[in-house]
Structure 1
Amino acid sequence: MTDQYFSEQPTSASDPVSFRLEIGDVALDLTTDAGVFSRGRLDKGTRVLLQNAPEPAEGDLLDLGCGYGPIALWLAVRRPASTVWAVDVNDRALELVRANAAAARVGNVRACRPDEVPADVRFAQMWSNPPIRSGKAALHELLLRWLPRVDGTSYLVVSKNLGSDSLARWLGEQGHPTSRLSSHAGFRVLAVDRSESVT
């Protein structure tokens, strides 16, 4: 593998693979590709998140580290009156989100790089299978950048073996009270409350 899924410009040759996502009452045909997280399938963590988190809120919703868009499109179908911001640094991933949204005739997804999200947008919720393998420092920086912009609860799915419990403790220490919503198949779904420091 020549790329990490958090590479901005994947150098691996494009090799699209499609599959059908079916969770609850949502069924979507999604295209994935090389150089993007979880090519050809829905990864276990994202499935655990979508099956165990509560109903999404109305309003602006954030899918942080969206990949090819399974969370963003699922949210968009469930909440057609909401705007779902699908944010990633991987340009190939963002192209896939746009193509998948168009194919599904979902018009309320905005796929963009982090610096393309208007500064005045605040989110009712954040949903994320965050890029744990980008490293602890990068992950912490990412979460501290976006969590203060969320007015409601943020839902993160993290593998127990990759530090979900220590991440929950660290978030609490940063003023973001975090609880374990569920645990399944080696993954924790963490619920991060609105920051105590937000005025």
Structure 2
Amino acid sequence: MTPHYFDPDPQTGSEPRTVSLVLPDLYLPLRTDRAMFSADHVDLGTRILLETVPPPPRQGTLVDLGCGYGPIALTMASRAPQASVLGVDVNERAVELAGYNAHQNHLYNVDFKVGSDPMLVDDHLDVQAEQAPAHIAALWSNPPIRIGKPALHHLLTTWLARLAPTASAHLVVQRNLGADTLHRWLETQSYPCTRIASRSGYRVLRVDAPTSIT
């Protein structure tokens, strides 16, 4: 069976390499490996997202959903040094490398966890289960479209429901992989959604905190 980047425990042999994330405001060398998303270069959609999003909140909890080896989370950490950044992914190999990349780039306000449950935010903040859910100040993601529509919808709505009342998420999705369909679907779920950029076949969507959940 061909391994997927969303496999929790990839069995593919290791072949580490280094790629570069080059943006107008920062340069990050990043260690990657086989069996993870865009292992041989920083994905174009990720770069478009990072070149398009407004600055992250200066404080609060910032989340990279589907962090891979860390380019989005590490950019958030660099741009908001007083914030607390959390990157999550189901791929154990990717999460391990993301932590390595944070250390190598001297970014210490970021943590990485394996999983997809938003309770990881509570774990990250050491919040007791009986306390009110933690609020996410911003969420950036190049989401795992290829896990399938039902799983993707469940993943997104579960995490988006944790946005603080005035917070927004920013998602980058290829047009030919259903960006416009996802845009419409989010609005049917009471998430105000705005396309803020369209470039090279990608859409960047801003998704605001839900107005109501029925």
TM-score range, shorter chain: over 0.9
Q: How much has 1:197 moved relative to structure 2?
A: 1.4
Aligned to 1:130: 143
Q: CA RMSD in A?
A: 1.2
* CA-CA distance at 1:117 after TM superposition: 3.0
**Which one is further off, 29-38 or 19-28?**
19-28
Give the superposition deviation at 1:15: 0.7
- Displacement after TM superposition at 1:2 (Å): 2.5
For the pair 1:143 / 2:156, whether they are aligned, the reply is: yes
Structure 1 residue 104: Cα displacement: 0.7
Percent identity for Structure 1 against Structure 2 = 48
Whole-Å separation in 2 of the counterparts to 1:193 and 1:19: 32
Structure 2: 5+ residue stretches without partners: 123-128
Instruction: Tell me the residue number matched to 2:79.
Output: 78
Q: What is residue 195 of structure 1 aligned with on the other side?
A: 210
Which residue does 2:97 correspond to in 1? 96
Distance 1:8 1:122 in 2: 26
SS of the residue corresponding to residue 153 of structure 1 reads strand
Secondary structure at the residue paired with 1:175?
coil
The TM-score with structure 2 as length reference comes to 0.89
Q: Does 1:181 align with 2:193?
A: no
Cα distance in 2 for residues equivalent to 1:164 and 1:156: 9
Q: Deviations over 1:53-109 (max 9, x none)?
A: 111112210100000000000110111111111011110111011000011111011
- The runs of 5 or more residues in structure 1 that have no matched partner are none
Output aligned runs, 1:159-170, within 5 Å.
159-170=174-185
CA distance in 2, matches of 1:81, 1:123: 15
Q: Distance in 2 between matches of 1:121 and 1:92?
A: 27
Residue in 2 that maps onto 1:109: 110
Q: Give the partner amino acid of 2:102.
A: A
Total equivalences in the alignment: 198
- TM-score normalised per structure 1: 0.96
Give the whole-Å Cα distance in 2 for the aligned partners of 1:121 and 1:94: 22
Q: 1:13 and 1:73 mapped to 2: Cα distance?
A: 26
